[in-house]
Amino acid sequence: MTVFLQRLYFGLIGLFLALPIIVVAGVSVNEKQDLAFPPKGFSLGWYAEIFTNVEWRNALFASITLAALSAAVALLIALPLAWFLWRRHAPWANIFQLLGIAPFTLPPVITALGLLTFWAATGFYGQPATAVISHAIFFVTLPLVTLSLGFSSIDRSLVEAAATMGADDRTVFRTVVLPLILPYLVSGYAFAFVLSLNEYIVAYMTVGFTMETLPIKIFNALRYGYTPTMASVTILFVAIAATIFGLVARFGDLPKLLGAMSSRDQE
């Protein structure tokens, strides 16, 4: 009885989470430009449209470029910071940890507006590079958190052992710290990449009038009328996110990354 209730509850939550995606998936395979569910006919044409239609393709390309670059910049900010905080005893430097976590914790509109006023005041408003930096700052929290977790899981005696064997600080970092931190580096990048790909408000406020990322494109399309490409792009994004997180789970320890420190095997 209890097991049945459990399954039912999991099932209902699952249905709630999956329902919009199922409906959108259904809509995306309509044969004609209908917003109809169940779908009328079957066609994968709207998926092809993402790549054949110049506007959608450019938006996809812009989004992926933005995500790839901004996640990289976010890592460049997070890695030395997390390393320093782990390696050194400097309590005042924790302020930067706080600064790294704030952009993502505050309501996104605030970070977005702050960046908008800043770019407008400095005269860079609308330039593509500003979106990269803005997203890097907005999402620096994610690699910062995964890397802090990663560093805290390194046994400090490993570093001492390397030193007794003749490794200087730089060699220790290259031969011991970096290989051990790599899974956290990858997952931090993956998190920042996926979230940047989906981000709307910061991108919109910084470069909304000069370039179209996919979320901006979808929103604009939503305002000016309906096209099933919106549905196919949505499904594409769900698939990308699920694939990337699936890979992180496959090659890393997802429960541990999400804060369950003991990764005990319950099977």
Partner 1 sequence: MRRETPQKLTDYSPLVFPAGMLIVFFVVPFATMIAVSFFKRNPSGFYTPDFVFDNYARFLSLFFGKVLGFSLMLAIAVAICCIVLAVPFTYLLSRARRRTQVLWLVALLSILSLSEVIIGFAWSTLFSRTAGITNLLVMLGIMDQPVALNPSFGAVLTAMTYQALPYTVLVLYPALVRLDPTLTEAARTLGASPIRAFFTVVVPALRNTIVATLIMVFIFALGCYLLPQILGRPQHWTLSVLITDQAIYQSNMPFAAAMAVFLVLVTLGLVGLTVYAGRKGETA
Partner 2 sequence: MSGLTLQNVTKEFGTFTAVRNVELTVPHGTFVCLLGPSGCGKTTLMRMVAGLDLPTSGSIRLDDRDITNVPTHKRDLGMVFQSLALFPHLTVGENIAYSLRIRGVGKAEQKKRVDELLAMIHLTGYADRPVAKLSGGQRQRVAIARALAISPKLFLLDEPLSALDAKLREAMQVELRQLQQRLGITTIVVTHDQREAMTMADTVVVMNGGEIRQAAPPVEIYRRPADTFVADFIGMTNLIDFKADGAGTQVLGASVPGLVIPNGLPSGIISVRPEDVHLTAPGNAPITGTVTFVRDLGGTIETFVEAAGKQIVAVSMPNARPDVAVGQSVGIALNPDDCVVLKA
Pick between residue 48 and residue 90 the one whose CB is nearest to partner 1.
90
Tokens of 241: 């996110």
Which one of 43-51, 53-61, 105-113, 178-186 is the stretch in contact with partner 1 (CB under 8 A)?
105-113
Q: How far is CA 138 from CA 102, 141, 206, 226, 267, in A?
A: 9, 7, 12, 30, 38
Question: Which among 201, 196, 181, 183 is positioned nearest to 241, based on CA atoms?
Answer: 196
Residue 267 interacting partner from partner 2, partner 1, none (CB closer than 5 to 8 Å by kind): partner 1
Mark out the alpha helices in 165-258 (DSSP H runs).
Answer: 169-172, 178-198, 201-207, 214-224, 229-251, 254-257
Q: How many CA atoms lie within 13 A of 65 on its CB side?
A: 12
CA dist 177 and 192 (Å) reads 22
Question: Applying CB under 8 A, which of residues 38, 107, 179, 225 lies at the interface with partner 2?
Answer: 179
Question: Which among 111, 106, 246, 134 is positioned nearest to 190, based on CA atoms?
Answer: 246
Our finding on whether 171 is near partner 2 (CB under 8 A) is: yes
Our finding on whether 17 is near partner 1 (CB under 8 A) is: yes
Our finding on whether 166 is near partner 2 (CB under 8 A) is: yes
Residues 23-52 that bind partner 1 (CB under 8 A): 23-24, 26-27, 34-38
C-beta of residue 165 within 8 angstroms of C-beta of residue 129: no
Residue 171 interacting partner from partner 2, partner 1, none (CB closer than 5 to 8 Å by kind): partner 2
Helices 229-251 and 54-87: angle between axes, nearest 10 degrees: 30
Binding residues for partner 2, how many (CB under 8 A)? 17
Pick between residue 22 and residue 158 the one whose CB is nearest to partner 2.
158
First to last CA, the chain: 23
Which one of 47-55, 178-186, 199-207 is the stretch in contact with partner 1 (CB under 8 A)?
199-207
CA dist 82 and 86 (Å) reads 6
Our finding on whether 74 is near partner 2 (CB under 8 A) is: no
Our finding on whether 186 is near partner 2 (CB under 8 A) is: no
Binding residues for partner 1, how many (CB under 8 A)? 101
CA dist 52 and 32 (Å) reads 17
Residue 173 interacting partner from partner 1, partner 2, none (CB closer than 5 to 8 Å by kind): none
Residue 24 interacting partner from partner 2, partner 1, none (CB closer than 5 to 8 Å by kind): partner 1
Residue 140 interacting partner from partner 2, partner 1, none (CB closer than 5 to 8 Å by kind): partner 1
Residues 124-163 that bind partner 1 (CB under 8 A): 133-134, 136-137, 140, 156-157, 159-160, 163
Considering the complex, what minimum distance in angstroms separates the CB of residue 169 from partner 2?
Answer: 8
CA dist 14 and 95 (Å) reads 40
Binding site for partner 2 (CB under 8 A): 155, 157-158, 160-168, 171, 175-176, 179-180
